[in-house]
Amino acid sequence: MKITIAQLDYHIGNFEGNTAKMVEAIRMAKEAGSDIVCFSELATCGYPPRDFLEFDDFIRLSDESLALLCTYAKDIAVVVGAPSHNRNPKGKSLFNSVYFLADGEIKFVQHKTLLPTYDIFDEYRYFEPAKSWEVVEYKGKKIALTVCEDIWDVGTDDPLYTIIPMDEMMKFSPDFIINVSASPFNYGHAKNRIHTVRANVQRYGIPMFYINHCGAQTELLFDGGSLVVSQNGMVHEELPYFVECIRHFSLEGVLKGDQSHEQPKNKIALIHDGIVMGIKDYFRKLGFSKAILGLSGGIDSAVTAVLAARALGPENVRVLLMPSQFSTHHSVDDAMDLVNKLGIKHDIIPIKDIYDAFMDKLSPLFEGMPFNVTEENIQARVRGTLNMALSNKFGNILLNTTNKSEMAVGYGTLYGDLCGGLSVIGDVYKTEVYELAAYINKDEEVIPKNSIIKPPSAELRPGQKDSDSLPEYDILDPILFQYIEKRQGPQDIIDMGYDPALVRRVLRLVNINEFKRHQTAPVLRVSPKAFGVGRRVPIVGKYLN
């Protein structure tokens, strides 16, 4: 038996486009002589469709896509994920299902059992869990069809669920497992994925074909990395990350279990490639092509500009340099150095006169009051206004350049430097931004050395440095990581050896600035716990405030 894995980039709600991709993959699978071609979870409609699932018309269009795919499921079987109707009047109206199409019709449907409702997932909002489990027989082979989370309760010391679907399916003695998935990327997930699939095949003694999405859906990145794992736990093949890929496999070859092809998993390389894909898909799927951002000469905006140029092409990236009376000469020089290296379009608008005009109007109201963060924020908001003006006039999407460390502690100005349609490095701590810069410069100097080595500064007052307001980032970031990613409380972090007063100050800053994060652009998710839909913290909570 020959099986094709089609690792594709779907577009939520683009039924015509998604179906066309699958039809082309079916054609390629037929040419390769495959018996089965496999697509991923909710492939007809894209993942996650969220509240689109509440529209009857949306489900009707998905049903029409399935009907069309059935017409191509002749001389080949098609495995595809799609929503299905719950005909029982009790429970949710939909299942998250995997379909087996053959001989021009729907031969079998297996519903998803384990519905994740944590972090970015909210599937129990829409779907009813499966209550029965069977296998499908095709060309003399019994196949266990599973959907994403249904395999993730195996190989863990902390199970989330009370039932394991594959335990039920093993009663029918399947020959192999097909798992259709939409498993979002984070920099540690690829290793976890292999561990989970390997734990399943070793538990049941049969191989698995694991098909994952690739591509980005707003803030969620899907890295692909689809797997074929032999029954002895050997990774027969691991498909590429962040690209569409169609591969054909002989079941007999997989059963030999005599080869291993795992990809390298470098954290910073994965973050780099994931962000580039995320920018590219965000623009492509929204129908935009050009980006704009403010370029300060610092490392955050420099890294963002490089990632944007690599995603969209340098001809589609425009930067705005907006020096104030507090900007140093080398900041403009460093920014221009990067502009010339990348070959991107730039404009320079000094903001002193604009800032002075604001201060002239406000001075009667501010009379006798000292210069403070208010005046600093006015500068940031002037820059935000100029960026947004060019964005509106020329149809460019403004990219936000704030890193995760700054976003965590509120070191940013609403309607100023927090403006933007997409937060590029908002899930990348400052220390990781330096690692990204080093990765970008590994073959040649792209980001100017001075942008990397100079002390970080917002340059909103004379001689300002980030360290005037914040701990050094190599101290701050580990505390933030323990609180945000690891969900450790203050005493837990203090017990790790951190200064108690510093820990309480940092955690309080994180909590009191939640209101800012609720108003900022969607953040490309690269970590296990990003700001956005996967982190739901009350704005008015008293905890640590």
Candidates 350, 292, 283, 294; CA nearest to 318 is 292
**DSSP-assigned letters across all residues of 40-104:** -TTTTT-S--GGGGG-HHHHHHHHHHHHHHHHH-SSSEEEEEEEEE--SSSS-SEEEEEEEEETT
Query: Which listed residue (148, 237, 280, 430) is catalytic?
Result: 148
The backbone region for 233, taken as left when phi is positive above 0, alpha when psi lies in -120 to 50, beta otherwise, is left
Q: List, edge to edge, every strand of the sheet that includes 136-138.
A: 136-138, 141-147, 176-180, 208-211, 227-229, 235-238
Query: Which listed residue (21, 38, 41, 285) is catalytic?
Result: 41
Q: How far apart are CA 121 and CA 189, in angstroms?
A: 15
The total of other beta-carbon atoms located within 10 Å of residue 474's CB is: 10
Q: What contacts 24+ positions apart, CB below 8 Å, involve 461-468? A: 461/326, 461/371, 461/375, 461/376, 462/326, 464/326, 466/411
Q: How far apart are CA 139 and CA 376, in angstroms?
A: 71
Q: How far apart are CA 544 and CA 494, in angstroms?
A: 14
**DSSP-assigned letters across all residues of 285-307:** HHT---EEEE--SSHHHHHHHHH
Q: Is 384 exposed, middle or buried (0-12, 13-18, 19+ CB in 10 A)?
A: buried
φ and ψ at 76, to 5 degrees? -160, 150
Query: Which listed residue (21, 38, 70, 112) is catalytic?
Result: 112
Tokens for 318?
């425009």
φ and ψ at 484, to 5 degrees? -85, -55
Active site residue 41: yes
**DSSP-assigned letters across all residues of 260-288:** --PPP--HHHHHHHHHHHHHHHHHHHHT-
Q: How far apart are CA 397 and CA 413, in angstroms?
A: 19
Distance, CA of 273 to chain centre: 11
Dihedral, 152, 156, 162, 166 alpha carbons, nearest 10: 50
Q: How far apart are CA 314 and CA 122, in angstroms?
A: 38
Candidates 542, 527, 10, 1; CA nearest to 268 is 527
Q: How far apart are CA 64 and CA 56, in angstroms?
A: 12
φ and ψ at 100, to 5 degrees? -115, 110
Q: How far apart are CA 148 and CA 41, in angstroms?
A: 7
3-state SS assignment for residue 320:
strand
Q: Which residues are catalytic?
A: 41, 112, 148
